[in-house]
Amino acid sequence: MGAPFRLTRRVQFYETDAAGIVHFSWYPRYMEEAEHAMWRAHGLSIHVPGSLVGWPRVAMTFDYHTPLRFEDEFEISIEVVAMSARSLRYRCLLSRDGEPVATGSMTIVSVEYRPGQAPRAVPLPPEVAACFAVAPDTPQA
Amino acid sequence: MGAPFRLTRRVQFYETDAAGIVHFSWYPRYMEEAEHAMWRAHGLSIHVPGSLVGWPRVAMTFDYHTPLRFEDEFEISIEVVAMSARSLRYRCLLSRDGEPVATGSMTIVSVEYRPGQAPRAVPLPPEVAACFAVAPDTPQA
Amino acid sequence: MGAPFRLTRRVQFYETDAAGIVHFSWYPRYMEEAEHAMWRAHGLSIHVPGSLVGWPRVAMTFDYHTPLRFEDEFEISIEVVAMSARSLRYRCLLSRDGEPVATGSMTIVSVEYRPGQAPRAVPLPPEVAACFAVAPDTPQA
Amino acid sequence: MGAPFRLTRRVQFYETDAAGIVHFSWYPRYMEEAEHAMWRAHGLSIHVPGSLVGWPRVAMTFDYHTPLRFEDEFEISIEVVAMSARSLRYRCLLSRDGEPVATGSMTIVSVEYRPGQAPRAVPLPPEVAACFAVAPDTPQA
């Protein structure tokens, strides 16, 4: 049962829009950056060239509380909140100077791509399942 | 009470990722493209330079059913499913050759930005409220 | 010897930045959209799943004359201006209401990716070479 | 006369395309990230809300030597190679483990935006001119 994984990040100019704030489509990318950094911290990668297993995203949500602006430094905190035989669900909090900016969630599925066959959901590889203890005070899916 | 607004779109190469499919962060952009095209079809714009009113997004969801690939042609169908004094909620369906690809939703708020004051939610401008009849068989928020 | 290929396009909100104009990194994407549409118009595709041949970009330039803004409609005009045994070079003009917006160029190379071997430049496939007559008044590379 | 400014960066998944490599449109963004970090290191910002001065890009080039892939760590090195009364020109080198990946250049102009007037090029603000000594062995523009 681990603490959330944390990543610090600065807003880039190309992430802003004509309203002067970060475009809302960047938040899923921020969440994914933190996800991939968390996997790397466990010695894992979400995308291994040549591997038959991939991790398509099947659901995503975001609630936006306050805007981010150019050069803002902010923190992304992510944790696994549910694990089933074939899927993981994350919860993500973005904050700036301790102030909540946005909250997100994402569900990913372990899928096997065999040439000539339709993709199919497969059990989480054991090395992945072993890494992602579900966060405390969260009922397992 | 109108029919959903429809937009046809083709997948661009820069929207794909190393898994060979459209990256999931593009779907909110597809939804927004359809939203803005629907506003234009009503003679409206979501972003009028010099206007004090803006439309920040406060919530967004997506469920992904099947991937899109380079050069796929697909349809985005969007409609207003809830309208409150200060907000609109959309439902969006992406499909390819009649097959569902993804479903999304998005809530936007009418906000006034007066110089030297904190932004505040304001009633929908009457010309906006008049345009977006809530889709049938949908309870109004 | 054909006329330039033309594509009409509208600026999307997510393409703008906090300066209120289209971010300069979008122009290469606009150029590529027109390139791929031109290939489709010839019955070709720049990316054929399973094919051993790919088209990496080896050089790109842009000169920016006047900004584009949200919802601007503009035209992209592209043509092949040089063809060598293994490469193509394009010239691209963006304009809005007849006014030049930006000019670009891009060179792509025909590369074969054989498993277990280093990628290597190969002669243009004959069906590609046959399509792209070099624009008149342009010396062939 | 300073050394080039250096920034280390990792490839994000959303920066890759269906060819399995970073899409070429990301390199201008990488160059700009390094530019903005260099300005911050000098206590400057390229975009100051409320300021009348902006820095539109008027020219950009890139030559691509070898591809970048997901999770590659690479270095961006940038320096000012020319300074005129109203403009700066940068040269940029991307490398991975000491191997050149791409080389780029970019020219930006100091522009004043006064309400109700056309934008016009203005002399570089003195605090900017003072910071960017032109790199040695480079003739000044």
Chain C positions touching D63 (Cβ under 8 A) are 58-59
Q: Return the closest-CA partner of residue B56 out of B22, B91, B26, B32.
A: B32
Q: Is the pLDDT of residue A140 over 90?
A: no
CA triple B11-B15-B21, angle to 5 deg: 80
pLDDT single digits (tens) A96-105: 999 999 999 9
Q: Which of D14, D36, D49 sits opposite A29 (nearest CB)?
A: D14
Q: Return the closest-CA partner of residue B109 out of B88, B78, B82, B125.
A: B88
Give the gap in angstroms from C-alpha C17 to the nearest C-alpha of chain A.
4
Q: Name the residue ranges covered by the structural domains of chain C.
A: 5-129
Q: Is the pLDDT of residue A73 over 70?
A: yes
- Percent of residues, chain A, with pLDDT higher than 70: 94
Tell me, what's the pLDDT at C2? 60
- Inform me whether the C-beta atom of residue D3 falls under 8 Å from chain B C-beta atoms: no
**Whether the complex's predicted ipTM surpasses the cut of 0.85:** yes
Give one DSSP letter per residue of D67-104, joined into a string: ---TT-EEEEEEEEEEE-SSEEEEEEEEEETTEEEEEE
> Mean pLDDT in chain D?
93
Tell me, what's the pLDDT at C1? 40
**A45 contacts D71? CB cut-off 8 A:** yes
Give the whole-angstrom CA distance, residue C12 versus residue C22.
Answer: 9
Give the gap in angstroms from C-alpha D1 to the nearest C-alpha of chain C.
28
H-type alpha helices, chain B: 27-41, 126-131
Residue of D nearest to A16 (CA): D47
Chain D positions touching A71 (Cβ under 8 A) are 36, 40, 45, 47
In a mutational test of the B interface, the residue from A17, A21, A64, A89 whose CB has the highest number of chain B CBs within 10 Å is: A64
| CATH code reported for the domain at D5-129 | 3.10.129.10
Q: Return the closest-CA partner of residue A19 out of B55, C26, B120.
A: B55
- Inform me whether the C-beta atom of residue D20 falls under 8 Å from chain B C-beta atoms: yes
Tell me, what's the pLDDT at D24? 98
Say which amino acid occupies D32. Answer: E
Chain A from 66 to 95: CB within 8 A of any B CB:
67
User: Which residues does A114 contact at the CB level (< 8 Å), separation at least 6?
Assistant: A52
* Residue ranges of chain D whose pLDDT lies below 50: 1, 141
pLDDT single digits (tens) A29-53: 999 999 999 999 999 999 998 899 9
- Inform me whether the C-beta atom of residue D57 falls under 8 Å from chain C C-beta atoms: yes
Annotated active-site residue in D17, D72, D97, D137: D17
Tokens of B87: 């907000």
Mean predicted confidence (pLDDT) in C47-64: 95
pLDDT single digits (tens) D39-63: 999 999 999 988 999 999 999 999 9
Give the gap in angstroms from C-alpha D92 to the nearest C-alpha of chain C.
14
Q: Return the closest-CA partner of residue A35 out of A100, A125, A127, A131.
A: A131
- Inform me whether the C-beta atom of residue A121 falls under 8 Å from chain B C-beta atoms: no
In a mutational test of the B interface, the residue from D17, D70, D113 whose CB has the highest number of chain B CBs within 10 Å is: D17
Neighbours of chain C (3+ CB pairs under 8 A): A, B, D
Q: Which of B14, B25, B69 sits opposite D23 (nearest CB)?
A: B14
Q: Return the closest-CA partner of residue D81 out of D40, D35, D47.
A: D35
Res. C134 pLDDT band, cuts 50 70 90: confident
- Inform me whether the C-beta atom of residue C100 falls under 8 Å from chain D C-beta atoms: no
Give the gap in angstroms from C-alpha C41 to the nearest C-alpha of chain B.
13
Res. B105 pLDDT band, cuts 50 70 90: very high
User: Which residues does D99 contact at the CB level (< 8 Å), separation at least 6?
Assistant: D66
